[in-house]
Structure 1
Amino acid sequence: MKGFEYVWKKKWSYLMLLFPVLYYIIFKYIPMGGLVMAFQDYNIFRGVFDSKFVGFSVFEKIFRDKQFWNVVRNTLMLNLLTLVMNFPLTIGLALLLNEVTNARFKKLSQSLLYLPHFISWVVVAGIAMNLFSVTSGTFNHMIKAAGGDPIPFLSSNGWWIFTYVVCNVWKEIGWGTVIYLAALTGVDESLYEAAYLDGASKIKRIIHITIPMIKPVIITMLILSVSKMMSIGLDAPLLLGNTKVMGVSEVISTYIYRIGIEKAQYSQSTAVGLFQSVVNIIVLLAADKFAKKIGEEGII
């Protein structure tokens, strides 16, 4: 009875909580029932309940497909390169913003850095085409004006990877600083004052005070980033990619799109999605365990 009285007392809080709970139940948990298609010879006319159950034969078919392992390799490669470039730059940018003392300039800088995150990948891809196109791209116009040969940014495998990473970093680096800036606000100012009185330079204060104080946040964000190594958004590789660079631009999300939407192979696309999720969970647990082994708190 006391529990009911407490809930009634906090009824408005629980009512506000009801909507996000319903969202996750309806759009996240209920659709998980569709994972059974990964173990069926799914027929769209028979539905989930009447389609033939075939066990792991769908997975066996996928694992024998060379294209599948190619898209796994591409997904890991693009995510790893983006992480290697984006993660340290995000921390460095947050540290630089934290050192800005002019409040108006700091707010303006943050607004400009956050803006690309809210730009659609359709727009970003259009900007990339205008900048990196061989025939009409701004960069290639400048290169040709300087007497150089045009660079196939979007039609050569190596240059396409470079362009993809640059676009991703530009789009997300500013937004990634939000959490680090929030963590930096919790650093005790008296530590900086004591270090300043001891003669520590600004660089030494950053190295010996700022970074150690936000290290738990850095470790947590790194674990979460590593746990998404097998996941990649559909928009960027689909919009930036083309037939000339399919060898590196075809990733798991585009592979699922092509076999699931274009070829209507629902069992295979569901199996690939399930494989992707299982691997991400395994990587998350492994990264968390490794963090704890080296003396960090981890996230689980």
Structure 2
Amino acid sequence: MRLRLVKQDTSFDFFSRWKLWLGISGAMMVIALVSFFLQGLNYGIDFRGGTTIRTESAQPVDVGQYRAALEVLEMGDISITEVFDPTFGPDQNVAMIRIEAQEGQESASVEKIRAVEGALSAAVPDIKFTSVESVGPKVSGELIQTAVIAVLLAIGAVLVYIWLRFEWQFALGAVIALVHDVVLTIGIFSELQIKFDLAIIAALLTIVGYSLNDTVVVFDRVRENLRKYKKKPLAEVLNISINETLSRTVMTSVTTLLALFALFALGGDVIRGFVFAMIWGVIVGTYSSVFVASAILLYLGVKRDWSKPTDTTGNQFANIDA
């Protein structure tokens, strides 16, 4: 007996209140943008600049021990990670400690660095400090700009891909859904003031890919059913398509969330922000595939018969069947 989270033959009406769902999504996006412009993001060291200290020791790196030794210094955001460096051989114990830029300074002062080294030396007597590097606000600003460009290019590539694969109405629905997911993710980070660093940018790009995959599965079934049920209203065809793919959508989302919740609980502080972004992204991505992308498609209308050319709907690639 196969496990099913959703029974095989469902008949939910997802579009009886589609305007309400779009209104809720629009309101959530407005709240997210207002929070972003009023509060901003709680940028991490990657975007604010700071000082990086690389250490080496004979004993294995204990991130918890390092963090406990540095907490008493009250230096704000401190990131501690164990890294692999081939220059140190197979028995390496190398750690990377990143300290946020102090107020009014581009990096940690010499006194602060000495305090960090003293605290770590007391906790780990054989520790060595192999390098100290600073990242100024100019480099951090370039990272922010590069991150924004990466997200925009990803969404732009999705627009072109969906346009070529389906119709421009499908492409617009998919892109609006992706923008919805990214804006809400940035909004929740702004509202809760969770640390926002390069790992979160990676999460945003992953969310774009996950949400797109879910949307394309639904749109593929919509296109098949538009050819199969040429006389049915578009809303009914969309309902049939979403119900037919609902079991797959729920199963994929739930199994992904199970893994993410385990990582959130057991993965430690280093990846917690990334995992939180992924959990939120899977939830809003699943929601947007059903209630945003498909609702936009219903609003715009779509070509019903691909066997007949038309100059009012679709685009010049309408007859290409991917």
- What's the TM-score bracket when you normalise by the shorter of the two chains? under 0.3
**TM-score normalized by the length of structure 2:** 0.25
Structure with the bigger percentage of strand = 2
Q: Compare the two structures and name the one with the higher helix fraction.
A: 1
